[in-house]
Amino acid sequence: MIVTPIKTDPIVLGALLFPVLDQFLPPLHNGDIVAITSKIISICEGRIQAITTEEEKQRVIREESERYIDTELTRRYGFQLTIAHNILIPNAGVDESNGNGQLILWPKDAMRTAQEVWEYLRKKFSLTRLGVIITDSHTTMLRKGTMGIGLSWCGFEALKNYIGTPDIFKRELRVTKSHVLDGLAASAVLVMGEGNEQTPMAVIQEAHNVVFQDHPPTREEIQDIHIPVELDLYAPLLLTVPWQKGGRS
């Protein structure tokens, strides 16, 4: 797999997404997957909010979440633990990095934007097999550091299902599904960087285990990548903490 970061000018409020793609993306080919950080999507959408106090920031985070935990344990790092868009993530994705002193919120409808970008680039480059991913970073329990996650996608199957297939010793796999979307997103975010690299996009080529589609994800496919809290492997942890309802509950 080849992952190439794409250098851009600073993307600032007032920029339009498709002209940004036109200016900086190289010619695309069948089998390519374009990864775009959610930050530049949000900036182009105007999903930016100025704040003057820490309490304002915490209020915005609560409004952007479906559920949140705001205690002394979370506040010691300046975070709230949240569930937003069915993703367990700090601060509902609200971030100050590369925001020039303002908060950058998640895109308004990341799935719709991924589909619009997919349709635009497929038509522009006359492609039949193309993937689009909108990425962000998240944390993993008991592990330092951040890694990429796919907020939305279009043009390929997000999961590879191994259930019912044998392993190398002929043992039938019962629960294994490979998260193709997040694997690709993690690879893209790794080369795009987390600081001042100014490479908010990447093109992934020669990716294996990717099944391309000629239609946007269905409602069932979108729902299939999520697990209800009650059925999650981590339910014993998730169901015994003091969640409060956020503004998107």
On the question of pLDDT at 99 being above 80, the answer is: no
Q: Tell me: the pLDDT tens digits for 108-145?
A: 999 999 999 999 999 999 999 999 999 999 999 899 99
Q: Confidence band (pLDDT; 50, 70, 90) for 101?
A: confident
Q: Confidence band (pLDDT; 50, 70, 90) for 98?
A: confident
Q: Tell me: the pLDDT tens digits for 183-240?
A: 999 999 999 998 889 999 999 999 988 999 999 999 999 999 999 999 999 999 999 9
> Which pLDDT value is given to residue 218?
95
Domains of the chain: 2-46+108-226 (3.30.1330.100), 48-105 (no CATH)
Q: What is the pTM of this model?
A: 0.93
Q: In the 3-class helix/strand/coil scheme, how is the chain assigned residue by residue?
A: CEEEEECCCCCCCCCCHHHHHHHHCCCCCCCEEEEEEHHHHHHHHCCEECCCCHHHHHHHHHHHCCEEECCHHHHCCCCCEEEECCEEEEHHHCECCCCCCCEECCCCCHHHHHHHHHHHHHHHHCCCCEEEEEEEEEEECCEEEEEEEEEEEECECCEEECCCCECCCCCECCCCEEEHHHHHHHHHHHHHCCCCCCCCEEEEECCCCCCECCCCCCHHHHHHCCCCHHHCCCHHHHCCCCCEECCCC
> Which pLDDT value is given to residue 70?
87
Q: Tell me: the pLDDT tens digits for 1-53?
A: 999 999 999 999 999 999 999 999 999 999 999 999 999 999 999 999 988 88
What average pLDDT does the structure give for the chain? 93
